[in-house]
């Protein structure tokens, strides 16, 4: 792993991985701050700031930003998540100085013009409307709201029409000065990049970043609650998500949870896909996932099916959860490890994916993690550990259920909770 890390005198961390066989560079700025760092009256402001960063600076108009990067064939984008925000570009190696200059410009000299803000609010309102019209987006938002009721971590990242329309340039600047500081930011590049030259470029252009926040960043500890969220809609299919509290990134069972999710629903050979889709034909989509956060996590099973299949589908899913707490085969662990290893190595062939992976490791662990170390963390996972984890995940915690669509035949929550209360329950009762 040809990764170099430098902490500049400003406190800003610069990380590069040189991939000399490439002609391009993927680079970006990752901030350890997202929607979870909003105050009660800032719901949606992290995402709005990400949009407004591209809407004009002291030196460039919004059009200038777009044209300058595209004039050299480059790409520029950004993303907001629950705990992070990123601004990234991909250019040919000769145009790295331009990309660094533009990224620094939008992050240190954005003007947040009133008229641009008015237009961008309208764009985000359309984005919120589009998300509300997409059932598989809605089911995840409703799930988070139920799992972490009345908490920032459970709120939709986009905000609400009311909160988005209320924001002022001053509020955006307050969020920016509180969270976009050098101790929380990482500039990462992967590809045809020289580390020392890149560090000098970053140090020169990012000199205006604040070293310390204007006020302490907001971050309330998560409290998983669990619950039931159902929204009947006149749709062709029903979206159903059953989940449990997962494991945070730093917890011992984090990687074990990743393996368990892969075994249950990580591909066409997984238990849920084979039993629910292939053998029984109960849905057209089913998968399991495990999301980690800094202090909690989510383990979930998502399925999309017709409303008429729900009385059979949910008990079959619960039966598979029960079986996972009783028996896991070594061949399943080996297959899951092979899939994770392949995904890891294939992703590293893309400079953009590699830059993102390094940035996440720096934010989570404070250092790049070598591939052998990552795989070593998976090697100690045994069948006994997995069955023990499944028992604790699925039968010792309160479940969360979210459903959208024609869900009249979905079992009452108390029946589902009863079926999940102990591994030995006959889950056919969950059909109501």
Q: What tokens were used for 382?
A: 């045994």
Q: What tokens were used for 379?
A: 């090697």
Residue 424, pLDDT score: 52
Phi-psi region of 35 (alpha: psi -120 to 50; beta: other; left: phi over 0): alpha
Average pLDDT of the chain? 94
Q: Give the torsion sign (CA, 143, 144, 145, 149).
A: positive
How many CA atoms are closer than 13 Å to the CA of 40, on its beta-carbon side?
A: 1
Cβ 86 vs Cβ 31: under 8 Å: yes
Percentage of the chain modeled with pLDDT above 70? 97
pLDDT digits (tens, 9 = 90+) for 57-106: 999 999 999 999 999 999 999 999 999 999 999 999 999 999 999 999 99
* CA of residue 305 relative to chain centroid, distance: 25
Lowest mean pLDDT: which of 5-14, 61-70, 415-424? Answer: 415-424
Cβ 77 vs Cβ 65: under 8 Å: no
Angle of CA points 202, 206, 209, to nearest 5°: 150
Residue 255, pLDDT score: 94
Residue 422, pLDDT score: 64
Query: pTM of this prediction?
Result: 0.92
Q: What tokens were used for 37?
A: 């760092």
pLDDT digits (tens, 9 = 90+) for 368-401: 999 889 888 888 899 999 999 999 999 988 999 9
Q: Rounded distance, CA 70 to CA 76, Å?
A: 8
Residue 174, pLDDT score: 94
Q: For 124-152, what is the mean pLDDT?
A: 96
Q: What is the largest CA-CA distance in the chain?
A: 67
- Annotated catalytic residues are 50
pLDDT digits (tens, 9 = 90+) for 189-237: 999 999 999 999 999 999 888 887 777 777 889 999 999 999 999 999 9
Residue 222, pLDDT score: 95
List residues bridging with 25 in a β-sheet: 91, 191
Residue 427, pLDDT score: 40
pLDDT digits (tens, 9 = 90+) for 402-414: 999 999 999 999 9
**What is the SS3 assignment for the chain?**
CCEEEEECCCCCEEEEEECCCCCEEEEEEEECCCHHHCCCCCCCHHHHHHHHCCCCECCCCHHHHHHHHHHCCCEEEEEECCCCEEEEEEEEHHHHHHHHHHHHHHHHCECCCHHHHHHHHHHHHHHHHHHHCCHHHHHHHHHHHHHCCCCHHHCCCCCCHHHHHHCCHHHHHHHHHHHCCHHHEEEEEEECCCHHHHHHHHHHHCCCCCCCCCCCCCCCCCCCCCEEEEEECCCCCEEEEEEEECCCCCCCCHHHHHHHHHHHHCCCCCHHHHHHHHHCCCCCEEEEEEEECCCCEEEEEEEEECHHHHHHHHHHHHHHHHHHCCCCCHHHHHHHHHHHHHHHHHHCCCHHHHHHHHHHHHHHHCCCCCHHHHHHHHHCCCHHHHHHHHHHHHHCCCCEEEEEECCCCCCCHHHHHHHHHCCCCCHHHHHC
In order of their start, the domains of the chain are 3-205 (3.30.830.10), 227-431 (3.30.830.10)
Predicted confidence (pLDDT) at residue 430 exceeds the cutoff of 50: no
Q: How far is CA 369 from CA 17, 186, 358, 366, in A?
A: 13, 15, 8, 9
Lowest mean pLDDT: which of 194-198, 312-316, 419-423? Answer: 419-423
Q: Rounded distance, CA 238 to CA 44, Å?
A: 28
Percentage of the chain modeled with pLDDT above 90? 88
Phi first, then psi: give them for residue 270, nearest 5 degrees. Answer: -70, 165
């Amino acid at each position: 792993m040809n990764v170099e890390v430098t902490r500049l005198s400003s406190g800003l961390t610069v990380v590069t991985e040189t991939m000399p066989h490439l002609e391009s560079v993927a680079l970006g700025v990752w901030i350890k701050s997202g929607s979870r760092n909003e105050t009660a009256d800032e719901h949606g402001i992290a995402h709005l700031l990400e949009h407004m960063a591209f809407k004009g600076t002291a030196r460039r108009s919004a059009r200038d930003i777009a044209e300058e990067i595209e004039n050299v064939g480059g790409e520029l984008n950004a993303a907001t998540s629950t705990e992070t925000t990123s601004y990234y570009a991909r250019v040919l190696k000769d145009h790295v100085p331009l990309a660094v200059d533009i990224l620094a410009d939008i992050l240190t000299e954005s003007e947040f013009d009133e008229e641009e803000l008015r237009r961008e609010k309208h764009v985000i309102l359309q984005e919120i409307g589009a998300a509300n019209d997409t059932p598989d987006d809605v089911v995840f938002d409703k799930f988070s709201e139920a799992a972490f009721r009345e908490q920032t971590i459970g709120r939709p990242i986009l905000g609400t029409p009311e909160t988005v329309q209320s924001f002022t340039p001053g509020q955006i600047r307050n969020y920016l000065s509180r969270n976009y500081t050098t101790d929380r930011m990482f500039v990462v590049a992967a590809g045809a990049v020289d580390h020392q030259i890149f560090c000098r470029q970053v140090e020169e252009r990012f000199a205006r970043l604040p070293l310390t926040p204007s006020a302490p960043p907001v971050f309330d500890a998560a409290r998983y609650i669990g619950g039931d969220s159902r929204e009947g809609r006149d749709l062709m299919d029903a979206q159903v998500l059953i989940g449990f509290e997962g494991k945070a990134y730093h917890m011992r069972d984090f990687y074990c949870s990743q393996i368990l999710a892969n075994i249950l629903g990580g591909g066409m050979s997984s238990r849920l896909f084979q039993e629910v889709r292939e053998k029984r034909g109960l849905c057209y989509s089913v998968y399991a996932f495990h999301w980690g956060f800094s202090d909690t996590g989510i383990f979930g099973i998502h399925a999309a099916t017709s409303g008429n299949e729900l009385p059979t589908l949910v008990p079959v899913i619960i039966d598979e959860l029960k079986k996972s707490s009783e028996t896991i085969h070594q061949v399943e662990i080996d297959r899951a490890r092979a899939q994770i290893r392949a995904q890891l190595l294939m992703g590293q062939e893309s400079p953009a994916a590699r830059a993102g992976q390094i940035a996440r490791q720096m934010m989570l662990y404070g250092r790049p993690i070598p591939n052998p170390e990552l795989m070593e963390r998976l090697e100690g996972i045994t069948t006994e550990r997995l069955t023990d984890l499944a028992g604790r995940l699925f039968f010792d915690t309160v479940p969360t259920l979210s459903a959208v669509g024609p869900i009249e035949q979905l079992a009452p929550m108390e029946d589902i909770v009863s079926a999940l209360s102990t591994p030995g329950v006959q889950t056919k009762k969950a059909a109501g």
